[in-house]
Amino acid sequence: MRKAFLRYPKGIAVSCQDFMNKYYNRKTEVDGITFDSKAESTRYSELKLMNKAGYITDLVLQPKFILQEGFKKNGLTYRPIYYRADFQYFDKSLKQIIIEDVKGQETKEFLIKKKLFEKRYADLSLSLVR
């Protein structure tokens, strides 16, 4: 696959992939943690303040949930399917665990994984933040 390059005045060639990804998000760093988008890093900063203020506890970044176990069939091995959210925390006012995903755009893959998540983890609340 060919890479597209941008030309700068002094003849420096820089790959377009250095600047953006498929959804035009820019990786952002906060507290030494690299986030996939500015929106995700902003939400992290908000959750950190809420945690410090005592509104939430047990903040976890990138929690991983299994949606379907791996299995073998007809000599083939199928890997498990996972969903990795952006944040997980306990909301003291709601008295429940909240799972959050920061999305600018809902992909088909996300919609399928969300449906599988809701079926398997009916006791957890999945929230979308835009």
Residue found under tokens 């903040």: 59
Residue 19 maps to a domain: no
How many independent structural domains does the chain possess? 1
Q: What is the CATH number of the domain that holds 113?
A: 3.40.1350.10
Percentage of the residues of the chain whose pLDDT score is greater than 70: 81
- Distance separating alpha carbons of residues 98 and 14, to the nearest angstrom: 41
Boundaries of domain holding 41: 24-129
pLDDT, mean over the chain: 83
- How would you label 10-34 residue by residue, b for 16+ Cβ within 10 Å and e otherwise? eeeeeeeeeeeeeeebeebeeeeee
pTM score > 0.85 for this model? Answer: no
Residue 61 maps to a domain: yes
pLDDT (tens digit per residue) in 7-43: 555 555 555 555 555 555 677 787 787 887 888 889 9
Chain centroid to Cα 117, Å, comes to 14
